[in-house]
Amino acid sequence: MATTTTSEGSTTLSDVGACKPQETGTAQKRVQTTRFTNAWIVLAGKLVQADLFVREGIILDAAKHFWQASCDKSNTQDVVIDCEDHILAPGFIDIQLNGAYGVDFSDPQHLRDAAKVEETCRSIALHGVTSFYPTVVTVDKPTYSQVMPLLHDLCVGAKEQRKSAVAEMLGIHCEGPFIAVSGAHCDDCINRDDAGKVSSMGYTVSIGCSANVTSLKIVTLAPESVSTQLIQSLVASGVRVSAGHSNATLEQTEQAIGNGVSMVTHMFNAMKAFSHRSPGCIGLLGLAPDRQPFVSVIADGHHVHPCVVNMAWKCLKTTLPASARKDGLTSQTHWHACKFMLISDAISAAGLSRAQAIKVGCMEVRITDNGTRAVLKTDSSVLAGSVTMLDQCVRNLLQFCPDCTIAQAIEAASTIPARAMGVEKQKGQLIPGADADLVLMDRNNLSIVKVWKRGVLVT
């Protein structure tokens, strides 16, 4: 087994999920192998000096590759990419992206412009975001009935066109309509009457779709406003349920977690304010590590004060059950239990030098603070999503959290979201068998140098 050396000791590929060797049969058609060399690779919470090998868009098991190479001369590297001592990271995964570059994922008119959507996905990828979950804010039933099928087709198309060098839609995130705190959502569209009645009839049917949309992967809801049956039926159908836009007490939130809620949507924003006697959802940060869900935070510098981002990071970065600590598990396992993840919450104004007539769903938005802050047009005290992309959130996290390492900040936007969504074997990690979604970052300032989607350079 190949071994690489780090400042913290040695790490073998078997430590991070190397694939088992497969039996060799008849000679296969020769395919191109690319070697990424002279790189600092993000691996299990560390920066490791090592090479990475990619074939047909998949990361190779280096040890197996070299073993085969000793027997088969055709199985060698064809292309060598010098990473020039930069960081080679897994592609970022944004689980809450409302829009970007002029496209609002809650607007059916925008979604019908296939060329514009593809160009937007390409621009998103240039920020290191190789995968994302297009997010639909709370809208009326006629809009849901148009948006959901359109997004479903885009998600299915992304799976079928796996060679496209653009950010990939992994599934739909519905933020609403069964919420309690409107925030920047349309209050008239919030479903408060039927929330407790919806169960096995199907979530997507209940919001106005003619049939269940299988691409639905995340639903944000207020746990105090819905039935236990709704949460359980969503989880049973493979949907991740996230608590958000909620006035729930800590006890109500814990009960919802017991029923299947596994995430919290943009902690601190659009939820019951913290009180030392009634902490609400924010009180989850003080629970025992094995009782905490995955928690997303918007680190754009506007939604959450930097010191509060640091507080959340400290509460969630080392979540390891007491039983595991007693068993003496390694620091590597300790890190991989982290529950802190970054999201952008970006809206259609993100990426635009000058945004005009911007909407989030049906709510009109204006951009302030020299293009860095989005607020409701009718109430400038209410933030309306973010205009900051996920790569900047990674850089901000390092600035806000003094004890956060570069590798940890990167994994908060890649490995942790992948684990939260159950796609960590294919996304978010540079391990054998995973998709070669790669981001080359400058070691000095973490700016994006180059991006590859399944081994294809994004241009």
Residues with catalytic annotation?
345
**Quick count: other Cβ atoms within 10 Å of Cβ 205?**
13
For 292, 337, 428, the CA distances from 295, given in Å and listed in that order, are: 8, 12, 17
The SS3 of residue 79 is: strand
Measuring CA to CA, which residue among 151, 121, 261, 139 is closest to residue 215? 151
Integer Cα distance of 258 and 328 in angstroms? 27
Is the peptide bond between 149 and the residue preceding it cis, with omega within 30 degrees of 0?
Answer: no
Q: Are 250 and 256 within 8 A, CB to CB? A: no
Counted residue by residue, the chain has a size of: 459
- Amino acid present at 337: A
- Amino acid present at 41: I
φ/ψ of residue 397, rounded to 5 = -60, -40
26 Cβ contact partners less than 8 Å away, ≥ 6 residues apart: none
b/e per residue 144-176 (b: at least 16 CB within 10 A):
bbbbbbbbbebbeebeeeeebbbbbbbbbbbbb
- Amino acid present at 131: S
